[in-house]
Amino acid sequence: FRFKDSLAEDLCGADLVISHAGAGSCLEALEKGKPLVVVTNETLMNNHQLELADQLRRDGHVLCCDCGTLVDTLQSMDLSTLKPFPPGQPEKFALFLDKVVGLQ
């Protein structure tokens, strides 16, 4: 499908997620504990997606490839090497923000 209001139901039922390297897409899959293969597009200008994918790969949370290496990645992947993504801690940001604006 080209567009869907929410992927939450699809993600819950997935055994593996293959996604572009958009922050929202990556984080949503990782927060649901799904193994993730990130397909990067190195032709994008100011490619923050590549930077995110590289960092998540270095941290052991995702497998990365590009369109040309996707099939090889799927054939050789070992999902047991992936590390769980730690849960977010929004309360830490709230405390930091309170301190910055002088509420604490």
For residue 44, give the CATH number of its domain: 3.40.50.2000
Rounded Cα gap, residues 53 and 63, in angstroms: 8
Q: What pLDDT was estimated at residue 104? A: 65
Which amino acid, residue 102? Answer: G
CA atoms within 13 A on the CB side of 7: 17
Q: What pLDDT was estimated at residue 69? A: 95
Contact 80, 63 (CB under 8 A): no
Instruction: Note whether residue 2 is domain-resident.
Output: no
Q: From first to last of the 104 residues of the chain, give the pLDDT tens digit.
A: 788 888 889 999 999 999 999 898 999 999 999 999 999 987 776 778 889 999 999 999 999 999 999 999 999 999 999 999 998 888 888 888 888 887 76
Domain span holding position 66: 7-101
Whole-model pTM: value is 0.81
Instruction: Note whether residue 1 is domain-resident.
Output: no
Instruction: Note whether residue 23 is domain-resident.
Output: yes
Instruction: Note whether residue 27 is domain-resident.
Output: yes
Q: What pLDDT was estimated at residue 42? A: 76
Q: What pLDDT was estimated at residue 93? A: 83
Rounded Cα gap, residues 57 and 38, in angstroms: 9
Instruction: Note whether residue 20 is domain-resident.
Output: yes
Q: What pLDDT was estimated at residue 6? A: 85
Q: What pLDDT was estimated at residue 45? A: 65
Give the count of domains, the chain: 1
Extract long-range pairs of 51-56: CB within 8 Å, 24+ residues apart. Answer: 52/21, 52/23, 52/26, 53/21, 53/26, 56/26, 56/30
Q: What pLDDT was estimated at residue 44? A: 72
